[in-house]
Amino acid sequence: MTRHPRRTLTRLLLAPTLVAGAALGLASAPAQAAVWSSCDQWGNTTLDGYTLYNNIWGSGAGSQCVSADSGTRWSVHADHPNTSGIKSYPNSKKVIGKPIDSLSSLKSSYDVKVPSAGDYNSSYDIWDTDHDYEIMLWVNYNGNVGPLGTAQGTVSLGGHTWAVYKGTNGANEVFSFLRTSDSSSGTVDVLPILKWIKNTKGWMGNETIGDVQFGYEISGSAGGLDFTTNSLTVSGG
């Protein structure tokens, strides 16, 4: 699903229109001894069991390049105008392919470096295989971005405390968990979050978890900003 768009919104906007043929400028990839890099709108590759996507999906986007040393160590240079609406979600994903009740464990660790300027979030994006449900875990965020839906209170799960939002974008349900303080590194125990959604809240059934993605949902990065994933692991299933 190379061209599967990210569909979550900032709270200020209607859904942006995806134009597959959008004209995009080119930018120089971040300088490193990369084994793979791409400035293509839908550039993607598989490394070490992870799939990397450049994924410039939103309207009004500028230029963006991803550069990878591995599937779990990669960086992005993005130059998107500081206008409303998500422009891209460069990410690395691991496919799980098991129902929630069949999972004995699902954890992930992250270590990132993000800019102090710009409008973005660093987030997990977790999908069921039918793309009926989307679970976002924001570990840090900056600038003019916000979750879809209405506030549901706070909860401590998976080693973190989150502000929870529930909404829909018209195509799927969206459950957003925003960490109550920014984090640049840590470990998330994902399975208790999925079970809380399913068992405690009853918001979804025993869905088969497909993709666990981690990346940067970028709305604005005018002048060019760098996002670096120093390390990422997704384990379990």
What is the pLDDT at residue 237? Answer: 74
Phi, psi of 96 (to 5 degrees): -100, -60
Strand 106-113 with 119-128, pairing: unpaired
pLDDT in tens, 144-203: 999 999 999 999 999 999 999 999 999 999 999 999 999 999 999 999 999 999 999 999
pTM of the model: 0.87
Instruction: Give strand pairing partners of 126.
Output: 135, 212
What is the pLDDT at residue 177? Answer: 98
Architecture field, domain 36-236: Sandwich (2.60)
pLDDT in tens, 6-50: 444 443 333 333 333 333 344 444 444 699 999 999 999 999 999
User: How much is the mean pLDDT over the chain?
Assistant: 90
The region that residue 179 occupies, defined by phi over 0 for left and psi between -120 and 50 for alpha, beta otherwise, is beta
Distance CA 158, CA 141 (A): 19
Distance CA 36, CA 48 (A): 12
pLDDT in tens, 150-166: 999 999 999 999 999 99
What is the pLDDT at residue 33? Answer: 65
* Cβ count near 185 (within 10 Å): 12
